[in-house]
Chains A and B, each alone.
Chain A
Amino acid sequence: MIDWILYYLGLALTLLGGIMDLIASIGFFRFKDFYMRLHAATIGAIGGGFYPLIGLALIALSLDLDIYIKAYISGVCVIAAALIALTAPAGSHILARATHRSGEVVPKVIVDRIKEDMEKGGNEK
């Protein structure tokens, strides 16, 4: 019974991850600005990278295998998921910060507090 629940929960998470990746790639085309595309990239990293790995770990736990093999596969999946969740935001931060500081893309926003603070002279470059 518990194997059955784990298997179908993992399968659902993995399928959901595929759908999330598809939606994220649609979002890349529909958003017209660099900063808005970062939000679509977050969906691809967390919804399309983190949750499928957790799902794979659950599927591996539910299979009828030796306990060492199960522990190995699901452990690697969980560690990889944790690394994605820790490092994907660092990449997003550095892309957004570098783009804003270089002035390569002018963000299409209704207010830009970084620019306001820099014009006041508080935020040194």
Chain B
Amino acid sequence: MRKAISIIIYGLLMAIVYLVYTGVFSLVEILLSIAIGLIIAYIFAGDIITDLSKLSLSRIYHAVAYLIKYFTVIEARAHWSVIKIILSRNTNPKPAIVRVPFKADNPYTIVFVANSITNTPGTVVVDMDENKKAYYVHWLTPISLNDDDAYRSISLEFEKHLTKVFE
């Protein structure tokens, strides 16, 4: 039963993507999109959806709020700081590869925090260690080389929001 519901939800999302991409909204096209979406969902839903009971409106609300905040405030600030370095007269930053610990357990949280760190200019995740629970981040303008200070200024904000979405 639970598997059927997850297949239906995932299949309808795939059908919407298909409809948007083809741009034709006739009845035949809608039925075809639902059929293809259900086939794809039957193959992949078991791997992608791990726990359906976590699906709730508050998580979706937190995800949308995080996306809006990330793509307006956080990205703009990070872009501006790197653009200032590029256009400054003397381009000689002193980067460092620092260790940034994380506390999350869910693989989705780990991946999305790493993607958020890399998507902001100025920090790139070079490597990660799942046993030690740490990312290794190449940081263009390091404020501190200490693990905890790096965690506070790089990934605390991402992890705080994303644990509300995925954990």
> Footprint of B on A, CB under 8 Å?
20, 23, 26-27, 30-31, 33, 35-36, 38-40, 42-43, 46-47, 50, 68-69, 71-72, 75-76, 79, 85-86, 88-90, 92-93, 96-97, 100-101, 107-114, 117, 122-123
Contacts and interface: CB of A to CB of B under 8 A. Distances in A.
11 contacts: A33-B95, A42-B118, A43-B83, A46-B75, A68-B25, A92-B124, A96-B124, A113-B98, A114-B126, A114-B136, A117-B99
A93 B137 CA distance: 10
A23 B87 contact: yes
Contact of B142 (A71, A93, A110): A110
B120 interface: yes
Contacts of B97: 107, 109, 111-114
A42 B20 contact: no
Contacts of A112: 96-97
B127 A97 contact: yes
Interface of B: 17, 20-21, 23, 25, 71, 75, 79, 82-83, 86-87, 91, 93-99, 114-115, 118-122, 124-127, 129, 132, 136, 138, 140, 142, 145
B96 A109 contact: yes
Contacts of A35: 95, 124, 126, 138
Contact of A46 (B93, B99, B119): B119
